[in-house]
Structure 1
Amino acid sequence: MEQNKATLLALDSLSIYRGLLEDQVLSKLKALLHCLNSGGPAAVQLSKVVNGYNEFFFALAKSGMTSLTQYILDLLIFDENPFSFACQRGEETGCQSILDKAVSQDLANLQRVAGLNVSVFKAEIAELFSSEIDKLVIIALPEWTAGYQPLCCPEHIQDIKAHFYRAEDWVQCLDELKTFYQNYGCGVFARYYAFVWEKTTGQGYLKGIDKPDPISLEQLVDYQYERNRVIENTLQFLNGFPANNVLLYGDRGTGKSSTVKGILNRYHSQGLRMIEIPKAYLADFPLIIRQLKNRSQKFIIFVDDLVFGDNEENYTSLKAVLEGGLESKTPNILIYATSNRRHLVKEYFSERAGLQSGNHDEEVHARDSMQEKLSLADRFGINVVFSSPDQNQYLAIVKGIAEARNLNADWELLRKEALQWALWYNGRSARTAKQFVDWFEGHVSLGNQ
């Protein structure tokens, strides 16, 4: 039972990474080891051992991995603890050497757990039973692996995992682990770069997006001046210079949302993270900001298709954040919003009529109401207008997309079909141009089969 006892001791010895013991897989492994190492061989019951073993194996398989080494590496690099937080903030405290020593010990212990040999593990369990049938039951239990297979994940995550896997001694990876935390942070913000704010039973949380929209800025045609204004502001933000909240407004289908998504895809490797928040949850802004303000990354909170009805009060939450209250103003957070309207809160003729009512109180109330509604867009430091393209711009966008896809088509035919498409469907816009090229490419490809 030497390996099993050593593994249990390694888990019990974790200090800085002690939070990993709450993980479902490791907690079930620890429970199994306790079952095997308490009360002596005579107290060990086969049914409890088999059940505990399969509970552990099921939890590991349910995670999508069958390699214990790979699973533990995943826990290790994304763990949030005093060491990883200090590294991501770039702090060098007086207790840094103490933390380094404790983490080094944890790395050695985690390597011991990750290297748990399943054949030896099962053989040691089988020794506890005298019946050959019992031994066969143990030997027949499913087996995990110790191998490493690169999963579909960002390159920096693959690199740090591969570095650990190649190392004979994980303690030697301490500096690389520090660098990883410094460059990419820890927890979900190291694992994902795109998030959406969701709610379950009234509780809000950040949900990481495994596969964000892959649109790149290079795929977007025209609107270069407008796009460059947003890019320049983002670069100022990423480099620690003053930057503004941005409102991208204008006609539908002109690439406002695609511009914001493309910026994330270009700059996430420089520490940019993006959180999309539905309009219905804008009142949660203070809660979101508290989760982000002490992080090392730069965050853009993205609100898409922003417009408020007359009876909606959520715009006051957005306004408070834009104005920068005592808690709202943080240097690592900006707001980018898109809208089809310059005035984000709907206004009615009846409100303007109040200005002409002749009643002083009604006139003051109407004026205040209108000013409050019209002032929301002014709270964004930069307003970028995306207007519908004229015919020549529309055709230029069609041509640019077609050339980027290497479509070998007669331009006159393409031009004629593109104009007809705009008449039949949604009018001239960048979105309409892309939809047309999608149809044309598919139509031609199908005909060539």
Structure 2
Amino acid sequence: MTQNKPGITVSEQESLRINNLSTALLALDSLAIYRGLLEDVVISRLRALLISLTPDSIDLREVINLYNDFYFELAKSGTISLKEYITDKIIFAENLFTSKLQAGQTPETSAIEQAVVQDLQELQLLANLESKELKAEINQRLNNPAYNSYVEKLPEWISEDQAAQTPLHIQQIKESFYRSKHWADCLEELKQFYQHNGSGVFARYIAFVWEKTNGQGYLKGIESPDPITLNDLIDYQNERSRVIENTLQFLQGVPSNNVLLYGDRGTGKSSTVKAILNHYHTQGLRMVEVPKAYLADFPLIIRQLKNRSQKFIIFIDDLVFGDNEENYTSLKAVLEGGLESKTPNILIYATSNRRHLVKEYFSERAGLHSGNPNEEVHAGDSMQEKLSLADRFGINVVFSSPDQNRYLKIVEGIAANRNLNIDKERLQKEALQWALWYNGRSARTARQFVDWIAGRETLQN
């Protein structure tokens, strides 16, 4: 991108730049709603550098160290554009203004919006600070030509906007800032962004995983979710359509159900859920994967998600419980809609290779007629509780292993999507051999076979 933005003359750009360092420092000190940015490591380093330049007499070593501290943190963030960095911080901020908008509320008073407008103006001034201006100021304060070479060797950040690969909804709001003469004019678009996409990590990421460190659970954003799309999935349209229909009801705010996708391994259960996220995330859909070991954290997870305008699917993959596990009681409470658990912006999608999610043993059935004093008196109740967990999902969708014809249809569909020019008879013959040698017939086996034959064809050609 060029430095001179469309619609902005050189003289107008000059007027947006900071005339002196005290103005830059004052811009930071003037932040109100976005004041949390002062705790950001890059912004705080910049502020420390600016403060070091306010006295009449400055120390060269101190200034050089503070300058490089700031530059190091800026580069570590993944950009050397101060404008891009500050724009990102505005877009992904968490404060009173953004929290209300992402919860579907509006700020109570115009005073809050006026404070936001003022903050945007101050941040635009700061974003236009150039390294050459800062270095010139340092030389002027030092007033010693012998030091000029040290200052001139300091690395420079750029004032241009880097063309980074970002999701479309983020790129659009960034471009609005980059094109704008006055960032305050972006207020309405910024409000719509927060309302539709959320703020903080919920605007930055579409997929999360619940993790724990030192006993504390937290949502970790996934930088690169599985990119699989609905178009990549061949066959199983009837099974998949039921899940898609339910998801659309969920997104439109009408009654919808928790979903259990169960059946044979490799049939595309997990891929279906991931592809649905990739297809509908632009409509405000988000996904949180929760490992089975952390199901007891459901109340904590729900508290973090429930007061947001986005729709969240809690995804539990490969769900099955042992006979002694109590985590299933946490899941059961959420499925039944406990006082805290029931919330209209959260659904649970789970996958499993088995219909009965809690393992049952023949000894338990024997216990119904057992004279053993160590057996449970009401063994039938326990058995029914275990069998009924799957029934608490409103929708059960079965994914069965394909027969030979269906398996070959999936192979041919994947090969066609990849534009593989292979004789059909040969493709089918080798696909059947592959299924015999490896994991049997399944959608996963078909994809693995096509990966193999596509790689082999590429090397041979």
**Band of TM-score, shorter chain:** over 0.9
**Residue 28 in structure 1 maps to residue 41 in structure 2:** no
1:142 equivalent in structure 2: 155
Deviation at 1:141, TM superposition (A): 1.4
Distance in 1 separating the partners of 2:272 and 2:388: 25
**Residue 190 in structure 1 maps to residue 203 in structure 2:** yes
Distance in 2 separating the partners of 1:355 and 1:53: 77
Distance in 2 separating the partners of 1:113 and 1:406: 50
**Number of equivalent positions:** 444
Tell me if structure 1 keeps the 8 A contact 2:244–2:276. yes
* 1:89 aligned to which of 103, 107, 115: 103
5 Å-filtered alignment, 1:90-239, equals 90-95=104-109, 97-239=110-252
SS of the equivalent of 2:199 reads coil
Deviation at 1:361, TM superposition (A): 8.4
* 2:359 aligned to which of 337, 342, 346: 346
SS of the equivalent of 1:384 reads strand
Tell me if structure 2 keeps the 8 A contact 1:357–1:363. no
Deviation at 1:150, TM superposition (A): 2.1
* 1:261 aligned to which of 259, 268, 274: 274
Deviations 1:68-93 (A, max 9, x none): 01100000111011111222233235
Gap regions ≥5 residues in structure 2: 1-17
* 1:281 aligned to which of 290, 294, 305: 294
Compute the TM-score of the two structures, normalised by the length of structure 2. 0.93
Compute the TM-score of the two structures, normalised by the length of structure 1. 0.96
Tell me if structure 2 keeps the 8 A contact 1:356–1:363. no
Moved more, 329-338 or 418-427: 418-427
Distance in 1 separating the partners of 2:423 and 2:141: 79
Deviation at 1:242, TM superposition (A): 0.5
Moved more, 98-107 or 27-36: 27-36
Gap regions ≥5 residues in structure 1: none
Deviation at 1:359, TM superposition (A): 5.8
* 1:49 aligned to which of 45, 63, 66: 63
Letter in 2 for 1:430: A
Which ranges of 4 or more aligned residues in structure 1 deviate by more than 6 Å?
none
Deviation at 1:358, TM superposition (A): 3.5
1:392 equivalent in structure 2: 405
SS of the equivalent of 2:141 reads coil
Identity %, equivalent residues: 69
Letter in 1 for 2:39: E
Distance in 2 separating the partners of 1:113 and 1:407: 53
**Residue 80 in structure 1 maps to residue 113 in structure 2:** no
1:375 equivalent in structure 2: 388
5 Å-filtered alignment, 1:2-17, equals 3-17=20-34
Deviations 1:167-207 (A, max 9, x none): 11111111111121122111111111011111222221111
SS of the equivalent of 1:394 reads helix
1:407 equivalent in structure 2: 420
Deviations 1:108-133 (A, max 9, x none): 00011111121121111222223322
Distance in 2 separating the partners of 1:279 and 1:363: 27
Distance in 2 separating the partners of 1:410 and 1:48: 71
Moved more, 279-288 or 231-240: 279-288
Letter in 2 for 1:151: A
Deviations 1:200-245 (A, max 9, x none): 2222111111211111111111111110000000000000001000
Deviations 1:355-381 (A, max 9, x none): 120368835342222122112111111
SS of the equivalent of 1:364 reads coil
Letter in 2 for 1:33: L
